[in-house]
């Protein structure tokens, strides 16, 4: 799962971009101006793999921001996503340091394809290298193909179900709390007041455990959940 920073002052569009990109399996951070974006980029708590930025932003514009990012963190790929679509606009973006440039309105499938190309191009650094597979008992996740199997049975998972199961498998044999899941899988640090985690655990149980004699996902009442074959 890569972390993508979206810099867009139109909060409705920013939210739509976040939803679509997270459904594709990535973690998204939002910034509504350049100042907020630079704070996130400098944060020690976040490892940002890709930046998507508008040009027209309050305060510092996207071109100036792009130059700042290039100076301070030249390894991060930058995609400009803007309504400014003339050839001169695009050249300004590339001269400022952008790796790619798309104009609004855009096809979301094309945006996801370009994100994939930029992420593959930049590649993970050794410090954040991603394993290709996770296995526990007869359960297997292929992280490159985003596929799940139990024994020889393929199991279809949504991106969030996949991320949740991966977290459980990477912590197999350990009890993980709802707070752990909320922070590590949903990347929220506050109480949503809903039971969405229990709902997703039930989704996983139906797909991963229901048709198998050995149940792997277990509840520890009052504590959390554990993936174990014991």
pLDDT at 24 over 50: yes
**What does the domain layout of the chain look like in residue ranges?**
3-128, 133-227
**In contact, 94 and 101? CB cutoff 8 Å:** yes
- Predicted confidence at residue 138, as pLDDT, reads 95
pLDDT at 17 over 90: yes
Does domain 3-128 fall into CATH 3.40.50.2300? yes
Question: For 76-85, 92-101, 143-152, 179-188, which range has the lowest pLDDT when averaged over its residues?
Answer: 179-188
pLDDT at 192 over 50: yes
Q: What is the mean pLDDT of the chain?
A: 88
Question: Given pLDDT bands bounded at 50, 70 and 90, which one contains residue 43?
Answer: confident
- Predicted confidence at residue 126, as pLDDT, reads 39
**In contact, 16 and 59? CB cutoff 8 Å:** no
Q: The domain at 133-227 falls in which architecture?
A: Orthogonal Bundle (1.10)
CA angle, 211 as apex, 210 and 217 as ends, to 5°?
Answer: 40
pLDDT at 221 over 70: yes
pLDDT at 50 over 80: yes
The reply to whether domains 3-128 and 133-227 share a CATH topology is no
Q: Count of alpha carbons within 13 Å of 217, Cβ hemisphere only?
A: 20
Backbone phi, psi, residue 228, to 5°:
-155, 150
Helices (H), the chain: 11-23, 34-42, 62-72, 87-96, 108-122, 159-170, 178-184, 196-204
- Using DSSP's 3-state secondary structure scheme, residue 155 falls into strand
For 51-61, write each residue's pLDDT tens digit. 999 999 999 99
pLDDT at 127 over 50: no
For helices 11-23 and 159-170, give the axis angle rounded to 10 degrees.
60
Q: What's the burial of 197, exposed, middle or buried (CB within 10 Å: 0-12/13-18/19+)?
A: buried
d(CA 64, CA 157): 41
pLDDT at 143 over 80: yes
d(CA 62, CA 218): 48
- Predicted confidence at residue 146, as pLDDT, reads 86
Higher pLDDT, 5 or 126: 5
d(CA 64, CA 219): 51
CA distances from 191 to 165, 188, 226 (A): 21, 8, 21
d(CA 76, CA 99): 9
pLDDT at 174 over 60: yes
- Predicted confidence at residue 46, as pLDDT, reads 72
d(CA 140, CA 44): 32
d(CA 109, CA 12): 19
Torsion of the alpha carbons at 160, 165, 167 and 168, rounded to the nearest 10: 150
Rg over CA atoms, the chain: 20
């Amino acid at each position: 799962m890569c972390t993508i920073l979206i810099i867009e002052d139109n909060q409705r569009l920013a939210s739509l971009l976040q939803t679509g990109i997270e459904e594709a399996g990535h973690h998204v951070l939002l910034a509504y101006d350049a100042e907020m974006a630079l704070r996130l980029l400098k944060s020690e708590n976040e490892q940002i793999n890709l930046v998507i930025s508008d040009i027209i932003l309050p305060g510092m514009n996207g071109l100036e921001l792009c130059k700042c990012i290039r100076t301070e963190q030249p390894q991060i790929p930058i995609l400009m996503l803007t309504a400014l679509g003339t050839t001169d606009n695009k050249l300004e973006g590339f001269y400022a340091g952008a790796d790619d440039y798309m104009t609004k309105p855009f096809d979301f499938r094309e945006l996801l394809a370009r994100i994939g190309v930029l992420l593959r191009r930049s590649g993970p650094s050794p410090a954040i290298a991603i394993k290709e597979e996770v296995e526990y008992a007869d359960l297997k996740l292929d992280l490159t193909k985003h596929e799940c199997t139990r024994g020889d049975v393929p199991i279809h998972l949504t991106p969030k179900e996949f991320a949740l199961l991966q977290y459980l498998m990477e912590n197999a044999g350990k009890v993980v709390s709802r707070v752990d899941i909320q922070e590590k899988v949903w990347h929220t640090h506050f109480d949503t007041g809903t039971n969405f985690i229990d709902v997703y655990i039930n989704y996983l149980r139906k797909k991963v455990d229901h048709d198998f004699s050995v149940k792997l996902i277990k509840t520890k009442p009052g504590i959390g959940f554990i993936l174990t074959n014991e």
